[in-house]
Each structure stands twice: as C-alpha cells, then as structure tokens.
Amino acid sequence: MVAESDVITLQMECTLFFENNPYAIETSSGLSKRLGRSQQVTEQALNRLAEMSILEKNGQGMRAIYRYKAPYIQTEVDLNAYD
C-alpha cells in the first residue's frame, strides 16, 4: 500500500521536473529511475497529474509517455472590453 503523502510529494517532484525540463518526454519507468523512486508510485503520481491537466499522457500502461502541458498565460488585456 502506498501512502497518500508519498504520492503527493512525488506529484510535486514530477511537476518540478517537468517545469524545469518543459520539452522532456518520459515514461513512468524512466522518470522513476531519474528521481530514484518506485515505478508504481511514480506512475500513480503521473496519472494524477495527467488527470489535473498538468501533464499530457499519450498511450497506456508501461508504454505511456508523459510531457508537460504548459499553462495558458494571457499577456495582453483589452481594457476597452470593460467599458
């Protein structure tokens, strides 16, 4: 049984990894080796991040690949729209 706190901590680690490496494409196995974590917990954390739309998941099971889904940032605001 995996402790919920372990999954949440790993979600944060995975998010930081992908924010710092926005063009990275990883499997749960590859990322678990990079982070020194178990593959089972890593896959669980990655799937949760994909459900929250932080990561994009392509494929299923061990062959699934994950990549960072950069948030939409609006850089201009049309102030005339509020008149």
Residue 74 lies in a domain: no
Residue 12 lies in a domain: yes
Residue 77 lies in a domain: no
**Angle, alpha carbons 34-38-25 (nearest 5°):** 40
What pLDDT score does 81 carry? 65
Structure confidence by residue, pLDDT tens digits, 15-72: 999 999 999 999 999 999 999 999 999 999 999 999 999 999 999 988 999 999 987 7
What pLDDT score does 18 carry? 96
Residue 35 lies in a domain: yes
CATH code for position 22: 1.10.10.10
What pLDDT score does 15 carry? 95
Q: What is the dihedral of CA 61, 1, 45, 24, to 10 degrees?
A: -60
- 3-state DSSP percent of the chain in helix, strand and coil, to 5: 55, 15, 35
Range of the domain at 47: 4-68
Give the chain's domain count: 1
